[in-house]
Homo-oligomer: A and B are copies of this chain.
Amino acid sequence: MQKTLAEIAELIGGEVVGDKTLVITGVNGLQEAKAGELTFVSNSKYAPIAKETKASAIIISRDMSIPGKTVILTDSPSIAFTEVISLFASSGKSKFKGIHASAVISEDASIGNNVSIGPNVIIEDGVSVGEGCAIYGGVFIGHKTVIGKNCIFYPNVVIMDRSKIGDNVIIHSGTVIGSDGFGYEQVDGKHKKIPQIGIVVIEDDVEIGANVTIDRARFDKTFIGRGTKIDNLVQVAHNVSIGEDCIIISQVGISGSVNIGKNAILAGQVGVVGHLTIGEGAIVTAQSAVMKSIPPFTKALGSPARAYADQMKINACAQRLPSYVKEINELKKQVKELKEQIDNGSKAKNN
């Protein structure tokens, strides 16, 4: 893959300052780039580092300048660079083209145009796969699952029966969609399994990391809204509903029937107790344990999670606890002395 700076500038709507005929062979970070590569600076505070880069050219914003360097001026260097990366990296993606002979695909399944299906993939009865999907080796797709267009499922993803998945959904390796929810009832002191007959629904533009688990609903559906991004090793229990454009960071655990509004952010290792609501735009910071519902557009922290400002005050106090204990002991001593002084004074007066 080779492109001139002029070709790249045209792609991103930018303007070259310097040699337009320069040939670019790859893209890289500011500090990692080598000769022949293109990089970018998103923020003028990195300009000093940018002067030292070995990259042959730099994408910068229109209000910046880096003397002595060949640059492309754009409105948004970061977004422009992402476009250029797609150009160079796309040829590196290891998608199988076509359908591998070893894939086991039900005759009853419907496979769209330009779908790639890797070795050892299993696609059961009644599955529908939309056009342009790339399904890597070892993926399992259970019966009657419906998949939209242009999805990417990486190796060994498991999607159990009757799931509904939108367009442009990316699911990383080892993730399991539609395993049974965790539900039992006590019968004679034993745990009797409650059937989990609902499904999982994942809307368009969702990305799900590696080794995530999303359980099917008892009835109805477990739901992931459009544009939501889920990191690795997250647990989403049965009947959870996550709104649009949420960010769920690694190792978060969301218990059954939790309802999360759109644009919410749950940081790493957060746990949420069942049946709670986390409001639109709410933020829960790392490792918090959510034991009460969180109002919209608020920030929560702690175990149990409380309003951010309250918990920060508590943390500040907790940090000084040993000195407060000293103060209490000092006070006890002083009060005892005062008491003795007064008692002695009284005695003196009485004598």
Contact = CB atoms under 8 A, between A and B. Distances in A.
A338 interface: yes
Contact of A250 (B192, B194, B253): B253
Interface string A23-49: 000011101100000000000000000
Contacts of A173: 140, 158, 160, 176, 179
Given A179-B172, A328-B328, A195 B85 contact: yes
Contacts of A17: none
Interface in A240-271: 245, 247, 249-251, 253, 255, 263, 268-269, 271
A351 interface: no
A237 interface: yes
Interface stretch (A3-11, A56-64, A65-73, A114-122): A114-122
B268 A268 contact: no
* Interface range on chain A (Cβ under 8 Å from partner): 35 or more
Interface in A126-145: 136-138, 140, 142-143
Contacts of A218: 29
Interface in A166-194: 170, 172-176, 179-180, 182, 184-185, 187, 189-194
Contacts of A148: none
A28 B195 CA distance: 11
A280 interface: no
Contacts of A345: 342, 345-346
A190 B306 contact: no
Counted per complex, copies of this chain come to: 3
A124 to B, nearest CB: 5
Contacts of A235: 231-233, 250-251, 268
Counting chain B CB atoms within 10 Å of each CB, the highest count among A100, A124, A253, A306 belongs to: A253
Nearest to A197: B89
A189 B263 CA distance: 9
A194 B82 contact: yes
8 contacts: A28-B220, A29-B218, A156-B158, A170-B193, A172-B176, A189-B263, A233-B233, A303-B303
